[in-house]
Amino acid sequence: MRHTISAVLAAGMILGLTGAANASEPQGEHNVTQLIPEDIYISEIATRLNGLPNPEQQEFIEICNRGTENVKVPQGGFRVRATFSGFTKKGLVVDIPAGTVLQPGQAYVLASPFYTLTTPDQIFYPTSTPIPDLTGIQLLHLWQNVPEDVVGTAPTTITPFVSPPPAKPLTPTDPQLTSLTRVNFTGINALDFVKQQATPGLCNP
């Protein structure tokens, strides 16, 4: 069973981040349920890696196992989806095949075909377009059609893949090799992901 907390219970934290839900707040964002992942979670993402060639194509998504036992990807596999534009809110990035085993503390790195920082475990589908900085990413248990985790850098008006309020998006002015790294498990993306030096292959936190 996925662990969720309602935005009502998290209202104090959310109001502190959004300025008491003023008139500029995207409508509906504070009504979305927060999602806290269990053993399998999104540890780190990069929609760009400044300082590398073609930085906007240097993308990766890191999945980790924080449990104490091996996790075998179930029947149907895990599907990673992202919001590419207003017209493609649930675009396919890649499927992690059933039978893939993640050991405790193991990082599983998915990356763009143009990614050069490290050697990834799996490459995005060649048809995937670059993931924009304002996006949302979902890790989906495909057979059960249940999300394992989400991280968004945009409000719910742009992406359904966010546990609001969203994390800050990466930008062209960020320091070299900056990624969005998980530092907590509150179910609030703005608190759980911060900009840090990228460490693909190393689970966070």
Contact indicator for 69, 135 with CB cutoff of 8 Å: no
Contact indicator for 64, 105 with CB cutoff of 8 Å: yes
- Angstrom distances, CA of residue 30 to CA of 14, 25, 96, 102, 164: 8, 9, 31, 34, 7
Give per-residue pLDDT as tens, 46-59: 999 999 999 999 99
Q: Is the torsion defined by CA of 41, 173, 127, 107 positive or negative?
A: negative
Residue 121 is assigned to a structural domain of this protein? yes
Provide the greatest CA pair distance for the chain. Answer: 48
Residue 81 is assigned to a structural domain of this protein? yes
Residue 9 is assigned to a structural domain of this protein? yes
Q: How far is CA 69 from the centre of its chain?
A: 23
Give the whole-number percent of the chain exceeding pLDDT 90: 80
Number of domains in the chain: 1
Give me the phi and psi of 46, to 5 degrees please.
-140, 120
Give per-residue pLDDT as tens, 37-46: 999 999 999 9
In the numeric block, which tokens belong to residue 142?
């495909």
Give per-residue pLDDT as tens, 153-185: 999 999 999 999 999 999 999 999 999 999 999
Residue 204 is assigned to a structural domain of this protein? no
Q: Is the torsion defined by CA of 142, 63, 56, 195 positive or negative?
A: positive
What CATH number did the domain enclosing 154 receive?
Answer: 2.60.40.1260
* Residue 72 CB neighbour total at 10 angstroms: 11
Q: Which domain holds residue 64?
A: 3-197
Residue 202 is assigned to a structural domain of this protein? no
Contact indicator for 101, 72 with CB cutoff of 8 Å: yes
Residue 20 is assigned to a structural domain of this protein? yes
d(CA 205, CA 202): 9
Contact indicator for 178, 60 with CB cutoff of 8 Å: no
Q: Which of 120, 113, 118, 154 is nearest to 134 (CA)?
A: 154
The residue written with tokens 């196992």 in the block is: 65
Residue 205 is assigned to a structural domain of this protein? no
Please report which confidence band the pLDDT of residue 127 belongs to, taking 50, 70 and 90 as the band edges. confident
In the numeric block, which tokens belong to residue 116?
């050069």
pLDDT of 128: 77
Q: Are strands 40-46 and 178-182 parallel, antiparallel or unpaired?
A: antiparallel
The residue written with tokens 């920082």 in the block is: 117
Task: State whether residue 40 is helix, strand or coil.
Answer: strand
Residue 203 is assigned to a structural domain of this protein? no
| pLDDT above 70 (res 137) | yes
